[in-house]
A = this chain, B = another copy of it.
Amino acid sequence: MIKIVSSCLILFFLSVNLQAENGHSLWLRSQSSSPVSVICSKKSIVTEIARQELLNGWQGQPGASIKLIVKQDKQVKGDGYKLTPEGVQANTDLGVLYGVYDLLRHQQTGETINPGIFNPSYERRVLNHWDNQDGTIERGYAGRSIFWRNTKDSLNVTEADKKLWREYARANASVGINGAVLNNVNANADILTDVYLKRVKAIADEFRPYGVKVYLSAKFSAPSQVGGLKTCDPLDPTVIKWWQAKVKEIYAMIPDFGGFLVKANSEGQPGPQDYKRTHADGANMMADALKPYGGIVMWRAFVYSASDNDRAKQAYEEFLPLDGQFRDNVIIQVKNGPVDFQPREPFSPLFGAMKKTSLMPEVQITQEYLGHSIHLVFLSTMWEEFLKSETYQEGEGSTVARCTDGSLFPQKHTAIAGVANVGLDVNWCGHQFAQSNWYAFGRLAWDNKLTSDQIADEWLKLTFKRNVAETTDWQDNFLKPVKQMMLDSREAAVNYMMPLGLHHIMSANEHYGPGPWWAPKRMRKDWTPPYYHQADTVGVGFDRTHTGSDAVSQYHEPLHTLFDNIQTCPDEYLLWFHHVPWSFKMKNGCTLWNELCYRYNKGLHQVRDFQKIWDKVQPYVDGERFVQVQSKLRSQSRNAQLWKDGCLLYFQQFSKMPIPYEIERPVNNLEYLIRNDTTRHQNYEQ
């Protein structure tokens, strides 16, 4: 803690000189290595990478001899591998590489390596990049796209491009991610034209040695937009032919192309319903075109219309009737919750309900609703909560994880997607700690039974250990408190943003600060926060019980009954499912209003505690990363206060109840927050 400012400056210059700790190395920081000899049963680009990683990063017995064996083993599945006392064995070259990364991770974290077989939970572990071809990124907070540029020569591939793509692919491979959708789901049809496909091929070429397949978001209207056809009707023979030809063209360039991601008939995007066809009609047409090459279609279930009574019900209502009608190389990509990546949602009831269709979870790594790259929020706990949610669809143990990874239902393909948080920022993710979310997504995609505790533990050791053998002091005074901060961070964000089941009350457009008041006239109601919080003088919350929208009925028993009853509904989903009177007595004896005040206040104080924790670990952190995180935490603290003030003062207009005396008073005026809603983003970060 001594010499905060000046020592930070000194360390800053040191680290700039050393190009060392600016975060660009992610969790793959170069470590001193011991000599090791590596014997490889098969020589390929992939196994050569594995060998080099071992030579560069070996921290086991000096002079040890390691065998890398590619050999069929029925117990090893897909990209899986087997760790043996002699080395790594896998069915594929890539499996060997994954095994090597696992081995090295164990050495670097100091964990014991237990021999055994390690198979991935999902076949396809895919990042979705919402990158536009002009280089911007929708909901990206870490600089511009690493794939696309807005300059005229944007399609020329440079050596710097290739180096960055290889670094990116290596980072993905090191945590088991094997696919990347290179463009925004709100797609530009141009991506399917030759000029762009050439760059896609160049990217694929750099990714290939690391086992990362490229996918593209395909615009459903592409046959018209870039193919000159008069229709895009999926049952029209010319359309079918167009897609077949396009797919053939792609595979000629990229033989291991992964397939298409499609957002159709959703938020204004074109789709089969424009031609009175179903989602199945559309998806199957594309799937048929991809099938000969092993490609898949990831078809998003993120659909809702302004006219329906409850947006949370619509994906289920629209897709469940189609169960069984999709080709086996179609996977329906379903967001974790029924609305849209909110700080907390119950799981989407589609999981487990669609039994004859492959479903893949879509989570959001980029923190659209969770503080962008300003707030420190470790999302692993959110995803763990989601994956371990009980659907009860096949009795107890029917978790979302098991409903999607093939262990409950016989799926031809399994997959999981995460919306990437990667950009051109030197540290990739904007916030040093946002890297942990990229890491966590990969680790959970590989093993959906991992705990967030373990993931945070691994990531912190890989990312912040100063030398191979850290002491107990480091464990006690850095690892332990910082890990706890990470594990608490998502609940803190829920507390200061949307506690007790509140959702979608953020400011418009930017989705950053509070905006429960935002409701311009003539705006689609389901795009305004009041639609979701329903605050009035009686109470607050969306009535989704049997007397309300009855969204509860989409959940399998006993959840249906549990959620439907205000007395048994868990606190964290209370306002998701119920319109609750302000004076309702919570399980802890508080009124709803007071509890809401306490939660917001607690969230703010949690962030203040994070600031203390971080300041205290300064001696253990290099200067540049320390100062960056310290500065971001300050912004998070200021902004948590904005959330608390904005939401409490707004809801107080309805509750007409006082903020409990022991709670710190608001320091912002509601009128000011409302008036400055659209410009306030300028003050997000200092």
Contacts and interface: CB of A to CB of B under 8 A. Distances in A.
A652 interface: yes
Interface range on chain A (Cβ under 8 Å from partner): 35 or more
A277 interface: no
Interface stretch (A2-10, A283-291, A319-327, A331-339): A2-10
A672 B649 contact: no
Contact of A5 (B6, B618, B652): B652
A163 interface: no
A638 interface: yes
A569 interface: no
Interface stretch (A44-52, A170-178, A390-398, A608-616): A608-616
A638 B667 contact: yes
Interface string A252-285: 0000000000000000000000000000000000
B658 A6 contact: no
Contacts of A7: 656
Given A615-B659, A659-B615, A672-B686, A634 B665 contact: yes
Contacts of A611: 665, 667
A6 B655 CA distance: 9
A37 interface: no
Contacts of A194: none
Given A666-B634, A667-B634, A661 B5 contact: no
A3, A661, A686: residue with the most chain B Cβ atoms closer than 10 Å = A686
A317 interface: no
A668 interface: yes
A664 B4 CA distance: 15
A450 interface: no
Given A615-B658, A634-B669, A608 B664 contact: yes
Contact of A669 (B631, B649, B661, B665): B631
Given A634-B666, A667-B637, A669-B686, A649 B5 contact: yes
Contacts of A671: 686
Contacts of A638: 667-668
Interface in A1-22: 1-7
A655 to B, nearest CB: 9
A189 interface: no
A678 interface: no
A487 B643 CA distance: 33
A637 B618 CA distance: 29
A468 interface: no
A656 B608 contact: no
A2 B658 contact: yes
Given A664-B608, A686-B669, A686-B672, A3 B634 contact: no
A658 B653 CA distance: 42
Nearest to A616: B661
A586 interface: no
Contacts of A661: 1, 612, 615-616
A670 interface: yes
A597 to B, nearest CB: 12
Contacts of A659: 4, 615
B658 A612 contact: no
Contact of A665 (B637, B664, B665): B637
Interface string A624-650: 000000010111011001000000010
A571 to B, nearest CB: 25
Nearest to A650: B5
Contacts of A641: 667
A657 interface: yes
Given A634-B666, A686-B672, A5 B658 contact: no
A616 B660 CA distance: 10
A491 to B, nearest CB: 20
Interface in A575-619: 608, 611-612, 615-616, 618
Given A672-B686, A686-B672, A612 B5 contact: no
B5 A657 contact: no
A656 B664 CA distance: 31
A649 B627 CA distance: 13
8 contacts: A2-B656, A3-B657, A5-B670, A611-B665, A616-B661, A634-B665, A637-B665, A671-B686
Interface of A: 1-7, 608, 611-612, 615-616, 618, 631, 633-635, 637-638, 641, 649, 652-653, 656-659, 661, 664-672, 686
Q: Which 7 A-B pairs have the closest CB atoms?
A: A1-B658, A672-B686, A611-B665, A3-B656, A5-B653, A637-B667, A669-B686
Given A4-B652, A608-B664, A638-B667, 11 more contacts: A1-B661, A2-B657, A3-B656, A5-B652, A5-B670, A6-B653, A633-B665, A637-B665, A637-B667, A638-B668, A668-B686
